A and B are shown apart, each in its own frame.
Chain A
Amino acid sequence: MSADQTLAFDPDCHIFTGCGFPAPGLHTFIYEPIATWGSFELTKPMLLAVLSSIVVVGFFWAAFRKPQLVPGKMQMVGEAGYDFVRRGIVYEIIGKKDGEKYVPFMVSMFFLVWMMNLWSIIPLAQFPVTSLIAFPAALALIVYVLWVSLTFKKHGFVGGWKNIVGWDKSLGPILPLVVVLEFFSNLIIRPFTHAVRLFANMFAGHLLIVMFSLASWYLLNGIGVVYAATSFVMVLVMTAFELFIQAVQAYVFVLLACSYVQGALSEHH
């Protein structure tokens, strides 16, 4: 099942033939099931999500299964990635002492998100799994559960609530306002923005690549060739840009996860 089919894409549709531009939209993100078991329908994004796990585990399996004191090539690359998340994100945000415990969590999160994003520009896959809100939502939910449970575990029930609502007596009369705002901001909006930030970036990026790809084909008629060439250049530019955005978004997602955990562990809000 290729993306073309779900786009209801007509290969004969070109400019100057009276055919309208088949603009990509929400339907671009809907896939027909590949297989069905009872009420469960396996789609391409689901397959890619599971493949992401397999690729990440496979990579680290190859790199760290039998680690050597003097590393081989795979181990060296794996260590670089591991160290990037460990030192570059976790130690920086949570600190070395408190953060060590969360390193495996954050490393898993970073590489899973990155791989899910990467499918966007991998031939044949060409779809970022994270552009479906369910996947970022699932990951954000895990972070949310970790964060909330850590907050209550660290500060107790009352202290946990105080931590979440930003309780600070010195605020005086505006304390109730702050409490309400912080409550919504932290407990309700935060997980939402955490998931949507990743989702929206990958959604928009995919939409742009698809649009320029479709335009390159659609414009391929008469003088339109010039436009088509421009559009194709944009496809290449966007692909390169996406490669960058994918890594950045994975980084941001894990950075935020770390800052939430750090907030839960810290004494003051």
Chain B
Amino acid sequence: MNALLLAAEGEPQPPLLPHLDELVIGLIAFVIVFGFLAKKLLPNINKVLVERREAIEGGIEKAESAQIEAKSVLEQYKAQLAEARHEAARLRQEATEQGTAIIQEMKAEGQRQREEIIAAGHSQIEADRKAAAASLRQDVGKLATDLAGKLVGESLEDAARQSRTIDRFLDELEEKAEAVR
């Protein structure tokens, strides 16, 4: 122990004077660390750090683009919905108009038909009346001829008898008319 102490004291080694061997070891120690870290390990981690940042930023970007897309789809959907509503309203309007037009047409047609029918009835009646009048005239003529024949044929003794014949004739006429009716 004392020898060591003496050896230490004997060596004139001021504390600020570097020992060359130690200096070299110090340099080597740094070179080892720097070599490994600079050539392999730090590039390794830098790559991953960049990748990580990209992954995070990519994720954010993706989310943003998805949001934008969703928004545009929503807009589109809304626009389509509005268009559809508009279209429906338009169709309804059209249908209403068409319906009204059809009703109008039908009414007009009905009116026309009714008038036609009425007109046909009138002309029928007129024709019937004319036919009736014609046949009546014929009948009346014939009756008058009959009556005249009877009047001429019978002995015209008295006015009473004549009036009776006329009455009778008129009654027959009435009966006939009744029968026709």
Contact = CB atoms under 8 A, between A and B. Distances in A.
A188 to B, nearest CB: 14
B interface: dominant SS: helix
Given A5-B1, A29-B15, A57-B32, A104 B21 contact: no
Interface residues of B, number: 40
B27 interface: yes
B41 interface: yes
B33 A27 contact: no
A110 B29 CA distance: 13
Nearest to B18: A134
B98 to A, nearest CB: 67
A134 B42 contact: no
Given A49-B29, A133-B18, A142-B27, A30 B8 contact: yes
Contacts of A53: 28-30, 32-33
A82 B44 CA distance: 12
B45 A196 contact: no
Contact of B42 (A41, A52, A64, A199): A64
Interface stretch (B47-55, B69-77, B106-114): B47-55
Contacts, number: 141
Contact of A60 (B23, B36, B51): B36
A61 B41 contact: yes
A6 B44 contact: no
B42 A103 contact: yes
A95 to B, nearest CB: 18
A135 B37 contact: no
B160 interface: no
Contacts of A9: 1
A264 interface: no
Nearest to B48: A67
A26 interface: yes
Nearest to A75: B45
B15 A65 contact: no
A32 interface: yes
Nearest to A46: B25
B156 interface: no
Interface string A148-162: 000000000000000
A108 B4 contact: no
Interface of A: 5-6, 8-10, 26-27, 29-30, 32, 40-41, 43, 45-46, 49-50, 52-54, 56-57, 60-61, 63-69, 75, 78-79, 82, 103-105, 107-109, 111-112, 116, 132-135, 137-139, 141-142, 196, 199, 203
Given A60-B36, A78-B45, A138-B18, 11 more contacts: A30-B11, A46-B22, A60-B37, A64-B42, A65-B41, A103-B42, A104-B38, A133-B15, A135-B25, A135-B29, A138-B27
